[in-house]
């Protein structure tokens, strides 16, 4: 099966918009929400639009176990108690303290290339950098990252996802078994680490979690597994995407690249523009808990509602000339990190990693040219990210 490409996704979203910013999609058996105000309204009302879509997933013990601490798929009040436990570790001030370590890791990874003039930006930098940073925060061996990558690949490689695939049939029986096998391996691996941290709690996030209480009770091993697994996966795949997408976007827009080189202070806004146009998670799913109204249309209780961040980010009512890559766009109220109570906890960290990595890259190399023909992307219905991004570089 040939997976859809990036242009396929954006063409589909544009065509879909002709049916209205909100409409029911018979083929996918869900509500498609495309407009910026409408997506914000859905994400901003967690009581009407629940994140608990457990019943969309096939029942399987390894998948169920992971869900127990996976607070991104929980509703209040449990969501809020669990989120509070880790939010302190990711405030902008705490995250700013990680800058020296992020700079060192970036420099070491590029030093390892020993002056190579061609390398793979994903394999050699965009993947290892965020995974090392989040593994160190969690107190998990960063050296095990080939295993984490295998898990992420197994979970996010879904060539079948696309406009004809009902969300309720995201996984066929064979895929469920394959995903469950990976989840089992991941659960066992994380359980071992949770137990080690219970024996000797270190001064890291997992150490804090084994001692923390939510609603007056300590977390179970199973809850911590879901918690740590969520942070481990969410903490790197999307940042890998952002770094790869930034290098690819600047390669496509040489004028913007020249401006950023001349004035690196433009980098943060340029990265925001990459985040807007190449939204790593293109869509978020919710379920209506009661009869509701979105964009003036009645949505019955129990329906699946898909909020398309990638479409909201291109809404001409909010973004002037929405398809233009404008590194000076300000304000840039993109919804790439979500909205409301589930707003991404790792946004400050992701932004910092992307900025530092880009600064180091631009300082080291006078030229960075992407081999577009040899680049490989994931199915964008699942994630907008390169998985291979070969580059040729000229040292500064």
| Interacting residues with ligand HEM (CB under 6 A) | 51, 71-72, 83, 90, 134, 230-231, 234-235, 238-239, 242, 280-281, 284, 336-338, 342, 344-346, 349-350
Q: CB of 253: closest distance to ligand HEM in angstroms?
A: 19
Question: Both ends of the chain: CA-CA distance in Å?
Answer: 43
User: Residue 94 or 362: which CB sits closer to ligand HEM?
Assistant: 94
| Other C-beta atoms lying within 10 Å of the C-beta of residue 247 | 24
Q: CB of 284: closest distance to ligand HEM in angstroms?
A: 4
Spatial CA neighbour of 30 closest among 156, 163, 172, 176: 163
Which residue number is nearest to ligand HEM in terms of Cβ?
346
Q: CB of 173: closest distance to ligand HEM in angstroms?
A: 26
Query: Which token pair is 68?
Result: 């127990």
Rounded Cα distance, 220 and 235, in Å = 22
User: Residue 83 or 287: which CB sits closer to ligand HEM?
Assistant: 83
Spatial CA neighbour of 365 closest among 121, 134, 68: 121
User: Residue 382 or 393: which CB sits closer to ligand HEM?
Assistant: 382
User: Residue 345 or 368: which CB sits closer to ligand HEM?
Assistant: 345
User: Residue 69 or 162: which CB sits closer to ligand HEM?
Assistant: 69
Question: 124, exposed or middle or buried, with CB in 10 Å at 0-12, 13-18, 19+?
Answer: middle
CA–centroid distance for 4 within its chain: 19
Report yes or no: 123 and 109 within 8 Å, Cβ to Cβ: no
Q: What angle do CA 63, 302, 299 make, to 5 degrees?
A: 135
Q: CB of 180: closest distance to ligand HEM in angstroms?
A: 22
User: Residue 210 or 243: which CB sits closer to ligand HEM?
Assistant: 243
Rounded Cα distance, 393 and 121, in Å = 10
Q: CB of 106: closest distance to ligand HEM in angstroms?
A: 15
Q: CB of 346: closest distance to ligand HEM in angstroms?
A: 2
Q: CB of 242: closest distance to ligand HEM in angstroms?
A: 4
Rounded Cα distance, 191 and 178, in Å = 20
Query: Which token pair is 263?
Result: 């004035």
User: Residue 126 or 231: which CB sits closer to ligand HEM?
Assistant: 231
């Amino acid at each position: 099966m040939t997976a859809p490409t990036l242009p396929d996704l954006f063409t589909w979203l544009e065509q879909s918009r002709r049916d209205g910013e909100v409409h029911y999609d018979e083929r996918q058996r869900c509500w498609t929400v495309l407009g910026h105000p409408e997506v914000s309204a859905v994400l901003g009302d967690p009581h009407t639009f629940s994140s608990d879509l457990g019943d969309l997933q096939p029942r399987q013990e390894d998948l169920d176990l992971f869900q127990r601490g996976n607070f991104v798929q929980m509703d209040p009040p449990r969501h809020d108690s669990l989120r509070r436990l880790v939010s302190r570790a990711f405030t902008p001030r705490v995250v700013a303290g990680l800058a020296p370590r992020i700079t060192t890791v970036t420099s070491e990874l590029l030093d390892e290339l020993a002056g190579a003039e061609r390398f793979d930006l994903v394999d050699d930098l965009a993947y290892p950098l965020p995974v090392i940073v989040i593994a160190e925060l969690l107190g998990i061996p960063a050296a095990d990252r080939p295993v984490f990558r295998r898990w992420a690949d197994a979970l996010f490689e879904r060539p079948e996802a696309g406009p004809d695939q009902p969300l309720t049939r995201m996984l066929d029986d064979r895929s469920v078994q394959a995903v469950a096998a990976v989840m089992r391996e991941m659960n066992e691996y994380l359980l071992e680490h949770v137990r080690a941290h219970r024996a000797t709690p270190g001064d890291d996030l997992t150490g804090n979690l084994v001692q923390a209480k939510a609603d007056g009770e300590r977390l179970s091993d199973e809850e911590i597994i879901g918690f740590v697994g969520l942070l481990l996966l969410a903490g790197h795949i999307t940042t890998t995407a952002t770094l790869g997408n930034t290098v690819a976007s600047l390669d496509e827009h040489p004028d913007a690249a020249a401006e950023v080189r001349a004035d690196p202070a433009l980098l943060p806004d340029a990265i925001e523009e990459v985040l807007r146009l190449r939204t790593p998670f293109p869509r978020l799913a919710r379920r209506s808990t009661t009869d509701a109204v979105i964009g003036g249309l009645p949505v019955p209780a129990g329906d699946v509602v898909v909020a398309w961040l990638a479409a909201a980010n291109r809404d001409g009512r909010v973004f002037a000339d929405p398809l233009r890559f404008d590194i000076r766009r300000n304000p840039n109220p993109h919804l790439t990190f979500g909205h409301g109570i589930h707003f991404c906890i790792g946004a400050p960290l992701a932004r910092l990693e992307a900025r530092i990595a880009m600064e180091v890259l631009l300082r080291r190399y006078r030229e960075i040219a992407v081999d577009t023909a040899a680049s490989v992307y994931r199915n964008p219905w699942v994630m907008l990210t390169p998985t291979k991004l070969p580059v040729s570089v000229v040292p500064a």
